[in-house]
């Protein structure tokens, strides 16, 4: 039975299960510290669990995510819910911060290896990581103790036996970490589950603290620099508020995610965007609905364009498919909501997936137009129908790809149909298909 040396209040049942499992089944010489915060310079790292084993110090992040999780680059695409930043990437940064605190407190702790591990607690959770980017730092609850006990995880330069440093490690932790006393709360929204994130934004599922048991929402919590000069802070505030300002311009629509609120925390070190909790999964991992999903995507895009909004970063990750098979557009952080006195276009080059960028915008992402959105939608439609990305200007995809999708992929922006016209063409194809089926039934 491992010894719990301190900690705050677990945020959810998944964390409670992991803590209890280690407490009841881990070796007696292991020490546990749970639900703490690690301050490092201007950053604050929230940690679910820290485990001190005889050979390493391990920071652990607990995820109750269910079903299959696709890993692509630095993003996770769970079956249920939208794409999130890889928790493994974020946890590695936390491990580096913790190692820095140890060394600052006692120089000889340089030899202590600080490991990082994401634990999936759901029995049906499955990580699909073909590139092997995150798999080595991910495990399941039933394999957690064996993984933590594996001394071969200690990398070169780390000591395989940290027991002589145990007192110094505990002293450094006592000096540095802070107990987290309650689930995170932003305004009136209390966190139910952390979904993922990166150094700039963290995503949570939350509920109204005044009405426990009410419907949940999604929170996107953006980090900001409260110590920057006034001009830099204003620019950062405008960039972060872009998604809210964009969505506020678009009247409610079934195929566009709805924003509810946007507000600052404390000294504007964080900003919170409140969105509807779309119960579904990213199109990246649910390519089955095909024509219905394509039409819904175009409905949302046509509605955005009709209200003067250009999405500019449309990919499968920004299309959520609900449990009943319909699509909802999201990911409006870099959208353009019409004329304004500032721009976020200069950041597009750092976030765009070039497979979905129209040819005329490869060198100048700031030149994106509704026609470039249509091109991105055409790539998604082609990929959804064929299972492949279009290979070039001559890609037609065979009989399963409607002619209108080919026109959406035209290298000339002027020759592409609008989103509304593309939708009308696809609806005509569907109506014609229904009539043919009805005619065949009558003849038979």
Do 78 and 111 lie in one domain? The reply is: yes
207, pLDDT greater than 80: yes
**Cβ atoms of 413 and 372 closer than 8 Å:** yes
Q: Residue 57 domain-assigned? A: yes
Do 147 and 160 lie in one domain? The reply is: yes
- Extended beta strands in 226-361, E state: 259-265, 270-276, 280-282, 319-322, 327-329
Q: Which pLDDT band, with edges at 50, 70 and 90, does 438 fall under?
A: very low
CA distances from 385 to 278, 281, 323, 378, 427 (A): 24, 18, 20, 10, 16
pLDDT of residue 73: 84
Number of domains, the chain: 3
pLDDT of residue 285: 47
Higher-confidence residue of 263 and 184: namely 263
Do 375 and 322 lie in one domain? The reply is: yes
Q: Which pLDDT band, with edges at 50, 70 and 90, does 441 fall under?
A: low
CB-based contacts of 216, cutoff 8 Å, min separation 6 = 192, 205, 206, 207, 277
Mean pLDDT of 250-254: 94
pLDDT of residue 417: 97
Range of the domain at 254: 185-276
Do 266 and 308 lie in one domain? The reply is: no
Q: Residue 271 domain-assigned? A: yes
Q: Which residues pair with 262 in a beta bridge?
A: 273
Q: Residue 442 domain-assigned? A: no
**Cβ atoms of 145 and 60 closer than 8 Å:** no
Mean pLDDT of 111-120: 95
Structure confidence by residue, pLDDT tens digits, 259-314: 999 998 866 778 999 999 988 777 764 544 578 899 999 999 999 999 999 999 99
pLDDT of residue 252: 93
Structure confidence by residue, pLDDT tens digits, 153-178: 999 889 999 999 999 998 888 877 77
Residue that has been written with the tokens 């928790």 in this structure: 87
Do 320 and 256 lie in one domain? The reply is: no
Half-sphere exposure of 401 (CA within 13 A, CB side): 23
């Amino acid at each position: 039975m491992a010894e719990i040396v301190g900690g705050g209040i677990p945020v959810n049942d998944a964390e409670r299960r992991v803590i209890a499992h280690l407490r009841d089944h881990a070796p007696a010489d292991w020490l546990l510290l749970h639900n703490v915060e690690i301050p490092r310079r201007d950053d604050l790292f929230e940690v679910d669990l820290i485990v001190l084993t005889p050979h390493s110090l391990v920071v652990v992040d607990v995820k109750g995510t269910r079903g299959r999780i696709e890993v692509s680059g630095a993003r996770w695409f769970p079956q249920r819910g939208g794409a999130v930043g890889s928790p493994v990437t974020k946890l590695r940064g936390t491990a580096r911060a913790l190692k820095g605190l140890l060394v600052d407190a006692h120089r000889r702790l340089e030899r202590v290896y600080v490991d990082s591990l994401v634990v999936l607690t759901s029995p049906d959770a499955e990580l699909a990581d073909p590139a092997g980017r995150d798999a080595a730092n991910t495990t399941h609850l039933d394999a957690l103790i064996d993984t933590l006990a594996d001394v071969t995880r200690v990398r070169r330069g780390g000591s395989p036996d940290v027991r002589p440093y145990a007192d110094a490690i505990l002293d450094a932790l006592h000096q540095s970490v802070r107990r987290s006393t309650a689930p995170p709360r932003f305004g009136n929204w209390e966190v139910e589950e952390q979904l993922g994130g990166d150094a700039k934004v963290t995503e949570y599922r939350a509920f109204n603290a005044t009405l426990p048991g009410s419907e949940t929402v999604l929170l996107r919590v953006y980090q900001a620099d409260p110590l920057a000069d006034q001009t830099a802070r204003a620019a950062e505030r405008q960039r972060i508020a872009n998604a809210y300002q964009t969505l506020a311009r678009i009247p409610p629509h079934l195929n566009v995610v709805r924003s509810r609120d946007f507000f600052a925390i404390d000294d504007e070190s964080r900003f919170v965007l409140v969105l509807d909790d779309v119960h579904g999964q990213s199109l990246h991992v649910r390519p089955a609905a095909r024509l219905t999903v394509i039409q819904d995507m175009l409905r949302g895009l046509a509605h955005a364009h009709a209200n003067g909004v250009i999405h500019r970063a449309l990919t499968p990750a920004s299309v959520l498919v609900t449990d009943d098979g319909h699509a909802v557009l999201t990911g409006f952080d870099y959208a353009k909501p019409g004329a304004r006195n500032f721009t976020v276009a200069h950041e597009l080059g750092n976030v765009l997936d070039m497979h979905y960028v129209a040819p005329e915008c490869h060198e100048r992402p700031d030149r994106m137009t509704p026609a470039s959105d249509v091109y991105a939608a055409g790539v998604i439609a082609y990929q959804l129908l064929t299972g492949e990305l279009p290979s070039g200007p001559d890609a037609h995809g065979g009989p399963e790809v409607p002619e209108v999708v080919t026109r959406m992929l035209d290298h000339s922006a002027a020759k592409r149909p609008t989103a509304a016209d593309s939708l009308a063409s696809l609806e005509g194809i569907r109506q014609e298909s229904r009539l043919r089926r009805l005619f065949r039934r009558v003849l038979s």
